[in-house]
């Protein structure tokens, strides 16, 4: 058309065309929708997951789309509906069992550990239990002591379970899809404070075939001076600390663990060999924690010979979570705590 302005075409490889912002909530919803559609054996059950669209709106729209047999509201009885889910898995279905918070999974820990985790071993491999236990884990905001535990170390302790702990939207979608497809019981520990956070997701990550392999960590930032290993929300704190320290000439390598069990210790070892220093960061309590396990595995392996300083742990405070905000903030690892730990490791 004469006089029309010529517009520059956006190349197909342009990041603006291939990458979009997706919240963790929407990524989880996509994963559930795609897996419910892909496999008729998959179903979701839990408190308020159906008609209310989920306590955190993770299951938004799924009940209307798939109906009562695939998205099931349960009574407020974790012991009851978890037992139903485990039995359904033994019978050949693939349930996704949502806990409104993993603190409530303690009501069903017999079903999770004694029934789901141990049955394959005790039946000599003849009975599989393909089930996903998922929901928010760790500290939220202003919910006090009985709603703030991190269960990564609790469930990571138990043979027979796989345990995943996503940080980004890509982690959340890919790990949930991989967990649903896995023939073993998987505990998926999400974080309530991340649900509304948007992350960049590539076109590939938004495809129906995208999965994140269970048992494989991801290097979120390359570095040469110190290795930071974390999972879930503290990964973001590590990246913030790394950005601050970079201005002071300290380059941190940030590893997003993604899977607690089986642990990708090989990626951590390779990083420690390169940087010669290790700092672990987690929201859980210090004693017998995820960081303690990482430090022990490094000490027992060949990477120990490359350490130029003792490994340092950054953890939650060794107390039940207080309700008061100022006390709560001091119980949860902050960016300043990570920076202090890195400088301690570097003796600066």
Hey, which residues are catalytic here?
Answer: 78, 147
Structure token pair of residue 316:
């939650």
Q: Looking at the chain, how many residues does it have?
A: 348
Contacts 24+ apart (CB under 8 A), 326-330: 328/139, 328/141, 328/142
φ/ψ (deg, to 5) at 286: -75, -40
Q: SS3 string of 184-210?
A: CCEEEEECHHHCCCEEEEECCCCCCCC
> Are the beta carbons of 218 and 256 closer than 8 angstroms?
yes
Phi-psi region of 54 (alpha: psi -120 to 50; beta: other; left: phi over 0): left
Q: With residue 218 as reference, give the H or E element that holds it.
A: strand 218-221
Looking at the DSSP bridge assignments, the partners of residue 135 are 189
Structure token pair of residue 334:
């902050």
Specify the residue for token string 């396990």. 293
């Amino acid at each position: 058309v004469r006089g029309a302005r010529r517009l520059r075409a956006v190349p197909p490889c342009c990041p603006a065309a291939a990458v979009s912002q997706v919240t963790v909530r929407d990524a989880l919803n996509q994963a559930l929708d795609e897996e419910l559609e892909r496999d008729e054996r998959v179903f979701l059950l839990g408190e308020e997951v159906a008609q209310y669209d989920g306590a955190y709106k993770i299951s938004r729209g799924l009940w209307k789309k798939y109906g009562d047999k695939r998205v099931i509201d349960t009574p407020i009885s974790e012991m009851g509906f978890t037992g139903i889910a485990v039995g359904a898995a033994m019978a050949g279905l693939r349930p996704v069992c949502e806990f409104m918070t993993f603190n409530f999974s303690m009501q069903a820990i017999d079903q999770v550990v004694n029934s789901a985790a141990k049955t394959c071993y005790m039946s000599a491999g003849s009975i599989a239990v393909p089930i996903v236990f998922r929901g928010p884990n760790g500290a939220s905001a202003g919910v006090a002591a009985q709603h703030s535990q991190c269960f990564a170390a609790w469930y990571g302790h138990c043979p027979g379970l796989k345990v995943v702990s996503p940080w980004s939207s890509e982690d959340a979608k890919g790990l949930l899809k991989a967990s649903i497809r896995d023939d073993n019981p998987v505990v998926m520990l999400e974080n309530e404070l991340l649900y509304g956070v948007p992350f960049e997701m590539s076109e590939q990550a938004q495809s129906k075939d995208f999965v994140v392999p269970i048992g494989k960590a991801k290097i979120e930032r390359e570095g040469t001076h110190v290795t930071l290993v974390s999972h879930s929300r503290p990964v973001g704190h590590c990246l913030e600390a790394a950005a601050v320290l970079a201005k002071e000439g300290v380059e941190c390598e940030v590893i997003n663990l993604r899977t607690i069990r089986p642990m990708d210790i090989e990626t951590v070892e390779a990083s420690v060999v390169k940087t010669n220093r290790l700092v672990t960061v987690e929201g859980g309590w210090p004693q017998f924690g995820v960081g303690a396990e990482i430090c022990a595995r490094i000490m027992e392996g060949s990477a120990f010979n490359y350490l130029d300083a003792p490994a340092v742990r950054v953890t939650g405070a060794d107390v039940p979570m207080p309700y008061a905000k100022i006390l709560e903030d001091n119980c949860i690892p902050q960016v300043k705590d990570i920076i202090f730990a890195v400088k301690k490791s570097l003796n600066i």
